[in-house]
């Protein structure tokens, strides 16, 4: 049974990884890494894990790397690139949830992350952890770079239309996310009273997930993220100017067939209104596909749980492929109603 380590185990995506992997039927969680809480027990910090996950938190170091076969990196950007060679030398397969290896172009990385990449030659060679499109590349990869939460929601919505050659202008991706997307970092804008009761836009046309979307879909995207007063969930409303003479059934059929083998993506007709309610707590992606033929606009709503399909769930989905387990292993399938 592969032995798993989780770095950044005390952040929101890290905790989700711990929760799901500790109950996963095909792997064994051996090491939890945390800089801020090293030396304590995981269940001492998070008493809801008492009796379930009582592992210690270690600093990420050479001392324990021989204990693990697969390592999940739930770290801020800028760290994975430093560790890359080390993990290779230990023959550890890595599922990286950070942004370090998502982009193909070092110039884009510098532009969006504010400093040069230290492994620029590797950019573009690491498979993207979006199994619906890169399953084969993921299977034998030593290192997988999972896309951002927003990026995942928009890629799944837009790529089929793009591949079909239907897009004829800039795409508007108006996305809305729950607050856990901002992580557990202490900042005033994440305080309860600052968020509760309000709805805000931010980072319009400048968010770091934008170049990921454009890279994978080959389209120009006006990406416009917003913050919703709720814990979990993303709903992306993607507006695509399309060629004339498309029909709703044609569009629907194309999306259906694109995702015929994707266990976590469900396509819904345009009359089904989407909600994060239908997918939270699972690794599912809900796509409502609706053509507005009067104005040649295709509207695709994409709902995912930002912590699952947008992060930890998708990372486990990648790992399942990497270890030859069923793609759905250890991932919650049924959404709690409330």
Contacts to a second copy from residues 291-330, by CB under 8 A = 292, 295, 297, 299, 301, 307
Residue 6 or 141: the one with the smaller Cβ distance to a second copy is 6
The verdict on 188 binding a second copy (CB under 8 A) reads yes
101 closest CA partner among 71, 122, 86, 130: 122
| Cross-sheet strand order for the sheet of 93-96 | 57-58, 28-33, 3-7, 70-73, 93-96, 143-145
Interacting positions 228-267 with a second copy (CB under 8 A): 228-233, 235, 237, 239, 241, 266
Alpha-carbon torsion angle 191, 36, 332, 180, nearest 10: 20
30 binds a second copy (CB under 8 A): no
**Is residue 119 a contact point for a second copy (CB under 8 A)?**
no
According to CB under 8 A, which residues from 148 to 177 bind a second copy? Answer: 169-170, 172, 174, 176
Q: Would you say 7 and 60 are in contact if contact means Cβ atoms under 8 Å apart? A: yes
Instruction: Supply the minimum distance, in Å, between the C-beta of residue 187 and a second copy.
Output: 7
Identified catalytic residue from 149, 193, 292, 318: 149
- Nearest to a second copy of 65, 158 (CB atom): 158
CA distance 186 to 189: 9
Nearer to a second copy, 187 or 245 (CB): 187
Q: Is 149 tagged catalytic? A: yes
Among 25, 192, 245, 260, binds a second copy (CB under 8 A): 192
CB 209 within 8 A of CB 284: no
Binding residues with a second copy: total (CB under 8 A): 83
The residue (of 220 and 249) whose beta carbon lies closer to a second copy is 220
Site string for a second copy, 194-213 (x = CB under 8 A): xxxxxxxxxxxx--------
The single-letter DSSP state of residue 118 is: S
Q: How far apart are CA 93 and CA 90, in angstroms?
A: 9
Dump the DSSP string for 39-79: TSBHHHH-GGGTTT--PBEE-S-GGGGGG-SEEEE---TTS
Site for a second copy in 47-86 (CB under 8 A): 47-53
Which of 15, 141, 145, 316 binds a second copy (CB under 8 A)? It is 15
Helix, strand, or coil here: 133?
A: helix
CA atoms of 100 and 191, how far apart (whole Å): 27
Return the active site residues: 149
């Amino acid at each position: 049974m592969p032995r798993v380590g989780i770095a950044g185990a005390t952040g929101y995506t890290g905790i989700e990884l711990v929760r799901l992997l500790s109950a996963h039927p095909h792997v064994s969680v051996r090491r939890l890494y945390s800089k801020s809480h090293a030396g304590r027990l995981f269940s001492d910090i998070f008493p809801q894990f008492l009796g379930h996950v009582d592992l210690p938190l270690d600093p990420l170091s050479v001392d324990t790397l021989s204990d693990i076969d697969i390592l999940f990196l739930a770290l801020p950007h800028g760290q994975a690139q430093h560790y890359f060679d080390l993990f290779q030398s230990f023959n550890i397969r890595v599922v990286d949830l950070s942004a370090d290896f998502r982009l193909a172009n070092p110039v884009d990385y510098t532009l969006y992350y504010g400093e040069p990449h230290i492994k620029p030659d590797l950019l573009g060679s690491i498979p993207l952890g979006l199994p619906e499109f890169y399953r084969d590349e993921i299977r034998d990869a030593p290192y997988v770079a999972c896309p951002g939460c927003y990026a995942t929601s928009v890629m799944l919505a837009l790529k089929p239309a793009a591949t079909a050659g239907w897009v004829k202008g800039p795409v508007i991706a108006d996305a809305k996310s729950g607050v856990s997307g901002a992580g557990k970092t202490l900042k005033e804008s994440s305080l309860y009273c600052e968020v509760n009761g309000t709805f805000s836009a931010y980072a319009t046309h400048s968010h770091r997930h934008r170049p990921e979307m454009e890279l994978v879909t080959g389209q120009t995207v006006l990406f416009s993220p917003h913050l919703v007063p709720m814990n979990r969930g993303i709903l992306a409303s993607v507006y695509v100017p399309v060629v004339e003479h498309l029909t709703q059934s044609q569009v629907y059929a194309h999306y259906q067939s694109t995702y015929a083998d994707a266990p976590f993506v469900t396509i819904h007709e345009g009359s089904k209104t989407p909600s994060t309610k239908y997918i939270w707590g699972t690794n599912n992606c809900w796509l409502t596909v609706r053509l507005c033929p009067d104005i040649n606009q295709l509207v695709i709503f994409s709902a995912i749980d930002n912590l699952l399909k947008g992060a930890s769930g998708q990372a486990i989905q990648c790992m399942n492929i990497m270890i030859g387990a069923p793609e759905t292993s250890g991932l919650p399938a049924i959404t709690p109603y409330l």
